[in-house]
Amino acid sequence: MTINTGDSLPDVTFSTPTEDGPKPISSQDVFAGKTVVLFAVPGAFTPTCSARHLPGYKDQASALKAKGVDAIVCTSVNDAFVMKAWAKDQNIGDEIVMLGDGNGDFAKAVGLTMDGSQFGMGLRSQRYALIARDGVVEKLFVEAPGEFKVSAADYVLENI
């Protein structure tokens, strides 16, 4: 079942890249007591994700934070090593928290997976964004297959 507005985000463990290697981080640590914009992509280094999705959030990071967002989080069904390399490639720095959902535990728990097998990608996350306050989904923006509109940083910024 897909998560909805008003639902609490599931308690899962992500993997985050650090200078000392991947470190586990719970969703509680990510969301508790904070206003968070999370966006999920089907895969690091994929065309739309690298050309538009992640760069859009980098470009709008200051504007989002000016509207009361404490953290901007990107997640993908990739490991922390890939997320770190992608952040470095995109010159992300500390503006966006990169979280690997390597086994797709978060994507499955929120009911937003897709089967990318026809592209050799296996189980992946759908493209979406959400705004959560203290771990509760306030707004959810799920893309139609093949679309990139409602999960874009500009759209989310307009809807905070």
Q: Is 74 a catalytic residue?
A: no
* Active-site hit among 44, 49, 77, 129: 49
Reduced to 3 states (helix: H, G, I; strand: E, B; else coil), residue 144 is coil
> What distance in Å separates the CA atoms of residue 125 and residue 8, rounded to the nearest whole number?
18
Residue 8 carries which DSSP code? Answer: B
> What distance in Å separates the CA atoms of residue 96 and residue 124, rounded to the nearest whole number?
20
> What distance in Å separates the CA atoms of residue 113 and residue 127, rounded to the nearest whole number?
9
Active-site residue set: 49
